[in-house]
Amino acid sequence: MADKVDVVVVGSGAAGSVFAATMAEGGRRVLVLEGGKSRTLDDLYSSQIWARRLKWGAPTVEEAGKHPVWYNFNAGHGYGGAAMHHYGVWPRYHPEDMRSHTLYGRALDWPFEYDVLRPYYDQVQEDVGISGDAEAEIWRPPGAPYPLPPIWVNEHGQTFAKGFEAMGLHTSPIPIAVLSRAYKGRPACISDGWCDAGCPTGALANPLAVYIPRAVAAGAVLQAESQVTRVVMNKRGDRAIGVEYYAQDGTRHVQEAETVVLAAFTVENPRILLNSADSNAPSGLANSSGLVGRYLLSHAAVMVYGMFPQVTNSFFGTTGGQLFNQDGYDKHSDEGAYGSRQWEIGLATKPNDLLGIAMSRPDIYGDALHKFMHDGARHIGSMVGVCEDQPNFDNRVELSSTKDRFGMPQARTVYQYSDDALKLWEISAQEGVAITKAAGATDAWHGPLGGQHIMGGTIMGLDPARSVVNQFSQTHDVGNLFIGGGGVFPTSSCVNSTFTLHATSLMSAQHLRDHWSAIAT
């Protein structure tokens, strides 16, 4: 058994790295256990093929229900987690996203209002350097202006902007955690479009570029290939005393800690909690509400493409896009569907992989595919519509009857989009094609229903009977056990989750840091 630490953080992704940096800089002994491999920025390479190593691969997550959440595509493994291949699109949740039930009688409320989270958003954007134009982003909730000007908009974004304008819709520079200028020792983006292959220059705010270096500089220790299987509890079952993990060679270890932070992504956190069931918590740890794994959330996403007569040079830019639109954000802006939706416009597009040129038209093959690839190389354009889904008790993470190589049950997800989300998706698909045609495309089309971002499963709330964690992501049942990440979100909004999970994690970590004596002892 290794020496006892103050904080053991399970997972080295976006949430885990924020917890690790905050607690280590606060003088605490921090150990981060990562199930995947060690990785540095030098290990990244610009290739869509190579980048598949950054995605989830094992242990298998079984997906059931009508709609998959595309776990392997959305999740990550190894230092940096899913944020190593995320695109850095960082809009904020809107105030109404956190009061849906109060305002509209729909969905769930968060345990705090937007103004509570606002300073943490501001702090995170100052830490990482977000590029954007707060004034042009007319839908943006209150907050400090972005520290950096917008990223470069080339022919790709300019072309789509004309389509939005022709449709009477507004565009703004995209709010993105990619540096438009050098910032805090990190270089500006070179617009090479390899964001989801990791970004070894450090221009994109993945964990290896910002919070992990801070954590390590403050003394935090990262340990790779250590798969946590259980939270170890005291005999009374009211305090966590550490975690059980397995090394790659199959040896079992117990790491003692004063506090435990589960930040192993939305699906792995419930898996660990459910697998930590014991005589004190027979249905799973921190599960007195019966809600561990419940209210899993995802976004219904639609890719829209156009082939333009003019050059778009879409191989340049940032994978997350160049421009942004939230004209459809109002929960009731679309007839027949409740919820928000947004557009990320002008996505950097490479020839291959799931979001590449070839897969935009999977029906084409043979010599026609060669022609399509050559046409698309400089003339294709794309954007993605992202639609809110509604929290549903039946959407869940549960344990499979199949076990991984360490004897731990695999995770199984069950998911089905709400009728509202599917309607929003249809509206987005039609609107997107119309915008693309209005932008001058000779051909415009949309892709199938896709899942983007995964949230919920360990939702926060004030009532212990209706939530797993409190407003500080501290489990109601076990005071020294915290959850980090988008799993604590009770609603999905339609915005990319990474900025908000940074903010909630920072708020939680600072609460833990500032109330250490009361929580840890």
Partner 1 sequence: MTLDDINRRKFVRNTGLGVLAFNTGGIPTLLTPQQAYAQSVKFSHLAQADAALLAAFADHLLPGAAANGIAHFVDHQLGVDAQECLLMCKYFPAIRAPFDVFYQTGLAALRQAVKAQYDGVFEALSAAEKDALTESLWRGQVDKWLGPPPPLFYMMVRSDAVDVVYGTKDGFDALNIPYMAHILPQEKW
Q: Which residues sit at the interface with partner 1, rule CB under 8 A?
A: 36-37, 42-50, 52-53, 55-58, 60, 62-63, 68, 70-73, 77, 185-187, 190, 192-194, 199-202, 209, 213, 315-316, 351-354, 356, 358-359, 362-363, 365-367, 369-370, 373-374, 377-378
The closest of 460, 458, 453, 388 to 418, measured between CA atoms, is 388
Least distance (Å) from partner 1 to the CB of residue 339? 24
Strands 221-223 and 30-33: parallel
Min dist. Cβ of residue 400 to partner 1 (A): 11
Beta strands in 50-186 (DSSP E): 61-64, 172-173
Query: For partner 1, which is the closer residue by CB, 37 or 235?
Result: 37
Give the integer Cα–Cα distance in Å for 467 and 291: 6
d(CA 63, CA 70): 8
Based on CB atoms, which residue is closest to partner 1, 57 or 141? 57
What is the residue type of 55?
K
Which C-beta is closer to partner 1: that of 45 or that of 104? 45
CB 239 within 8 A of CB 478: yes
SS (H, E, C) 337-397: CCCCEEEEECCCCCCCCCCCHHHHCCCCCCHHHHHHHHHHHHHEEEEEEEECCCCCCCCEE
Distance of CA 520 to the CA centre of its chain: 29
Structure tokens of 431?
A: 């609107």
Task: Name the minimum Å distance from CB 210 to partner 1.
Answer: 10
Nearest distance, CB of residue 22 and partner 1, angstroms: 20
DSSP secondary structure string for all residues of 121-154: HHHHHHHHT-B--TTT-TTPPS-PPPSBPPPP--
CB of 68 to partner 1, least distance (A): 4
Q: What's the min distance (Å) between Cβ of 190 and partner 1?
A: 6
Please identify, using beta-carbon distances, which residue of 70 and 139 lies nearer to partner 1. 70
| Cα–Cα distance for residue pair 93/363, rounded to 1 Å | 37
Q: How far is CA 160 from the centre of its chain?
A: 26
Which is nearer to partner 1, 46 or 223 (by Cβ)?
Answer: 46
Rounded to a whole number of angstroms, the minimum distance from the CB of residue 507 to partner 1 is 26
Least Å distance, CB 298 to partner 1, is: 12
Instruction: Indicate the residue among 78 and 328 with the shorter CB distance to partner 1.
Output: 78
Task: Name the residue nearer to partner 1 (CB basis): 452 or 510.
Answer: 452
Q: Which is nearer to partner 1, 55 or 94 (CB)?
A: 55
